[in-house]
Amino acid sequence: MGLVMTVINIAYFIAAILFIVGLKQMASPTTARRGIVWAGIGMVLATVVTFAHPEVQGTVNYLLIILGIAIGGGLAWWSGRKVAMTDMPQMIALYNGMGGGAAAGIGAIYLLQADPETASNVILTIAVLGSLIGSVAFSGSMVAFAKLQGLMDKTVHFPAQQWVNLGLFAVTVLLGLSLALSGGDVNNFVLLLFFMLALAFGVLMTLPIGGADMPVVISLYNALTGLAVGFKGLVLDNPALMIAGIVVGAAGTLLTQLMAKAMNRKISNVLFKQFGGSSGAEAEAVGGSLKPIEASDAGIMMAFASKVIIVPGYGMAVAQAQHKIWELTQLLIDRDVAVKFAIHPVAGRMPGHMNVLLAEAGVPYDIIYDLDEINNEFKTADVAIVIGANDVVNPVARTDPDSPIYGMPILNADQAKNVIVIKRGRGAGFSGIENHLFYADNTRMLYGDGQKAASELIHAIKEIG
């Protein structure tokens, strides 16, 4: 091994350590920020030394590499800076898909260059496998991005969808097999067809999955990209890729399971069954009626309460109401009202998303509580304010075994003495299920845009003086 290669390998080794330590730090709130910086240093180190890699040759190739990093990195920097916090999930999907596409690209080049004299079927198989996974992660993530960004319809169904997908997958695998066992004598037409079908499979697999399940799917594709990158590391004989890729593959798989668990969904159900859908079971008839309330009355109710619990949902974030809600909270705290935020594990678009959004508005950590921590406190609360949340407070999850959300852990907002629901209209939630909480005797509906309603409440409380 030459001196240059030794230096490069040492740099890769350090980078691998920085990635692992960085990820470990990201798993705890106090060290998380340092973690991403460490991992970033590892990335820069690994990238810089690669310019000296003996296999990187040719002036044109060097220029293309620099140009490519400038274009891809520049666009990603710009978009990553600009994106609103509410749109984070789809941006993660987008960047993840790009990584999957890159892994597939490495596979394509390897297979194009495969030399029958030296190629081994084992490495060819791994290259094909990595390309298949990378392609699926790429096109699947792009569909996930398009859906969350609102560029396409939420779900697409057609007859015998699963059989079509299965058939497509089988053909793709057969083509991959023929490439893997070609001994390096790769037919370019078969190669092209293989990639086209793998990409098509990623699209078709993601199309029927609904928006509520997207976080799990994005996380799954994230793990898949990691796996693909790890396989490419083996193909390229690059331990940094192998370690980073497989670590992410394993971590991502576990994270996917944790998310699915927090949402009370099985991963297999997410991928192969539609949510809610036409399950046939008639929903329990809703008793009672929707009872509206004026902001001024709601304001008085809150101002003279001793304990208020706020249940924010994604609707609050869409209305950009989190800053107003924090202002409202401060007013109430000044009046010696105990205010707590109750966060459902899947509030927002992904587990943890709502915490990010509240942190953005400046809400301090110590008044934000998890479901387990706060669920018993609703009984003692005078007012529960539900803003932009729906399914996560629907009591049918506890009571109606026929409901598609039955068994999902929910926030027991209905147990508070009074419930105020701030809601834009009368529509059902993300899952399309009627919310029995809204019809309960102790519930009042405050209709209006989240931000406007919060402003009116602030005004009402200030009026009291």
Partner 1 sequence: MIEGFVALYIFMLAAFTGYEIISKVPVILHTPLMSGSNFVHGIVLVGTMVALGHAATPLEQLVGFIAVILAAGNAVGGYVVTERMLEMFKTSNKGDK
Q: Is 414 a catalytic residue?
A: no
The residue among 239 and 395 lying less far from partner 1, judged by its C-beta, is: 239
Phi, then psi, of 292 in degrees rounded to 5: -75, 160
Using DSSP's 3-state secondary structure scheme, residue 12 falls into helix
Per the listing, tokens 């169904």 go with 157
344 vs 444 by CB, closer to partner 1: 344
Q: From CA 152, how far away is CA 208, in angstroms rounded? A: 12
- Inter-residue contact 235 to 106 (CB < 8 Å): yes
For partner 1, the closer CB: 236 or 440: 236
Closest by Cα among 387, 363, 394 to 451 = 387
Output the smallest distance, CB 245 to partner 1, in A.
Answer: 6
Residue nearer to partner 1 on the CB measure, 186 or 445: 186
User: Of the listed 391, 402, 414, 441, which one is catalytic?
Assistant: 391
**Bridge partner list, 386:** 311, 421
Which is nearer to partner 1, 80 or 116 (by Cβ)? 80
434 φ, ψ to 5°? -60, 140
> Which CB atom, from 40 or from 288, has the smaller least distance to partner 1?
40
Q: How far is CA 65 from CA 47, 48, 51, 73, in A?
A: 11, 12, 9, 11
CA distances 140 to 60, 108, 121, Å, are 32, 18, 28
Measured distance CA(23)–CA(33) in Å, rounded: 10
Answer for the pair 225, 202: CB distance below 8 angstroms, yes or no: no
What is the closest distance, in whole angstroms, from the C-beta atom of residue 273 to partner 1 in the complex?
23
Least Cβ distance, residue 307 to partner 1 (angstroms) = 20
Min separation Cβ 242 and partner 1, Å:
6
Cβ–Cβ < 8 Å for 131, 198: yes
Question: Do 210 and 155 contact (CB within 8 A), yes or no?
Answer: yes
How far apart CA 208 and CA 73 sit, in angstroms, is 32
Instruction: Give me the least distance between CB of 249 and partner 1, in Å please.
Output: 7
The minimum distance between CB 57 and partner 1, in angstroms, equals 6
Tokens of 46: 């690994």
Q: Which residues are catalytic?
A: 391
